[in-house]
A and B are shown apart, each in its own frame.
Chain A
Amino acid sequence: MRPLLERYAPPLYGTIILPRTGDAATAEDILRDTMATAVEKIGRFTWQGKSIYPWLRQIAINKVYDLHRQSKRSRRLADAMAQELPQESDPESHADAQLIAAEDQRQNRARITVALEGLNERYRVAIELRLIDELPRDECARRLGITVGTFDVLLFRAVRAFRKRFGARAPEEAV
């Protein structure tokens, strides 16, 4: 079972868990719990000619829900992501793990894009340059024609605005 788990750990982490927790250490803990639960309950898995990935994916999603339920955190961003989980496409309708992971990735990008489009143009550019393209701060500042200090403030305000806008898409009482 180890090869299967090692194969599916990266897509579970990158497309399901991390985008819904925002914290690498927490995401790794959830991934480990997901794997442990899968090993413990492998007897319940029924082979239906499909990949085991949808089953692992559902366990991971449940773990993310559990995290928010147990901690009762009011992080609007995480809640916003969790709120959208039930609206996602049925993983059973997919046949291949890579397709599912790619679809999850596409949906994650779409959510971010929608939120970015609602921001001030300069905020959007700052976030894209620094967090999506991962350019160094001085390069970001150079491209925007501002000092590094001003870019720091621009990014700081941009992330705050993104958080406010993205979190506002979900009800406060989410999860």
Chain B
Amino acid sequence: MTHDPDDDDFDPDDPISPAELAHARGFGELIDRAVAGRGVPAAMSADDRALVEVATVIRGAAGRIALTDARAASIVDAALLAAVDKDRPRSVSVPPPLGAPSPPRVVSIDAARKRSLLPWIAATVATAVAAAAIAILVTRPVRHAPSPSVAARRSADQLVGVITRDRAGDAAARIDVIYADRLDGWREQGLAVRSGGTR
């Protein structure tokens, strides 16, 4: 017959069920964590939590749990901030001491809801910007580059004529003539486009 957990009369000869042994071992490990100052997990059964609280009350009443100076300073900082900024929610957790594992962060439902909308807002803005860019590209006046055929409508032979042997060394001068002619052609093309004329 197994022991009734609520029975005060403990008999070491009472058989221990495997379930009770496992539960007791888990509770012992929770106490290990609490005694070592590592805190207890946020998620545990209501029964375990109640028993851990009893253990904490006993340890606290025995003076076994003290607030460190650093922790006290952190709490005072948080209190002063809360007092100065009365709109600051009082439920903001006190920052943990250095080296302590961070407790799981609790986010309010409103904050989580707003945060979940952020990707959608960003995507909507990005889509609007992209649509505006496409509209500008489609509707802006088009400036076409001049056709090479226009720029080269006069042949080089017409410009420089026949190159005699005695003028064979004046290649630079001939290149200047051709370049000036091509430049004139480009300018005519540009003026025609600006004035709305055709090429």
B1-50 contacts to A (CB < 8 Å): 3, 5-10, 12, 16, 20-21, 23-25, 27-28, 31-32, 35, 39, 50
Q: Report whether A81 and B3 are in contact in the complex, using a CB–CB cutoff of 8 Å.
A: no
> How near does chain A come to B55, taking the closest CB pair, in angstroms?
5
Given contacts A39-B79, A137-B28, A156-B20, contact A120 B50 (CB under 8 A): no
CA distance A36 to B25 in the complex (A): 40
15 CB-based A-B contacts, threshold 8 Å? A5-B79, A14-B67, A23-B53, A33-B79, A33-B82, A37-B83, A39-B84, A108-B60, A131-B59, A132-B62, A149-B21, A158-B10, A159-B55, A160-B5, A163-B54
Given contacts A5-B76, A9-B75, A156-B20, contact A24 B56 (CB under 8 A): yes
B98-112 contacts to A (CB < 8 Å): 103
Contacts of A6 in B (CB 8 A): 69, 72-73, 76
Q: Please choose the segment from A44-52, A91-99, A122-130 that sits at the chain B interface, where 4 or more of its residues have CB less than 8 A away.
A: A122-130
Measured CB to CB, the residues of A under 8 A from B are 2, 5-6, 9-10, 13-14, 18-25, 28-29, 31-40, 75, 77-78, 81, 105, 108-109, 111-112, 119-120, 122-123, 127, 130-132, 134, 137, 146, 148-166
Contacts of A105 in B (CB 8 A): 61, 63
Partner of A81, one of B57, B62, B90: B57
B118-151 contacts to A (CB < 8 Å): none
Contacts of A120 in B (CB 8 A): 8-10
Of listed A20, A134, A151, residue having the most chain B CB within 10 A: A134
Partner of B32, one of A39, A75, A132, A137: A137
Q: Report whether A36 and B90 are in contact in the complex, using a CB–CB cutoff of 8 Å.
A: yes
CA distance A166 to B52 in the complex (A): 14
Partner of B60, one of A18, A122, A164: A18
B78 CB–A CB distance under 8 Å: yes
Given contacts A111-B61, A156-B23, contact A77 B53 (CB under 8 A): yes
Given contacts A122-B10, A155-B27, contact A19 B66 (CB under 8 A): no
B167 CB–A CB distance under 8 Å: no
Contacts of A77 in B (CB 8 A): 50, 53-54, 57
Measured CB to CB, the residues of B under 8 A from A are 3, 5-10, 12, 16, 20-21, 23-25, 27-28, 31-32, 35, 39, 50-67, 69, 71-73, 75-76, 78-80, 82-84, 86, 90-91, 93-94, 103
Q: Report whether B64 and A10 are in contact in the complex, using a CB–CB cutoff of 8 Å.
A: no
Q: Report whether A14 and B25 are in contact in the complex, using a CB–CB cutoff of 8 Å.
A: no
Contacts of A35 in B (CB 8 A): 75-76, 79-80, 83
Q: Report whether B53 and A75 are in contact in the complex, using a CB–CB cutoff of 8 Å.
A: yes
> How near does chain B come to A16, taking the closest CB pair, in angstroms?
10
Q: Which residue of A lies closest to B16 (CB)?
A: A153
Q: Report whether A134 and B64 are in contact in the complex, using a CB–CB cutoff of 8 Å.
A: yes
Q: Which residue of A lies closest to B86 (CB)?
A: A40
Given contacts A36-B82, A40-B83, A146-B12, contact A10 B66 (CB under 8 A): yes
Q: Report whether A23 and B56 are in contact in the complex, using a CB–CB cutoff of 8 Å.
A: yes
Q: Report whether B57 and A31 are in contact in the complex, using a CB–CB cutoff of 8 Å.
A: no
Given contacts A9-B75, A14-B66, A18-B65, contact A153 B20 (CB under 8 A): yes
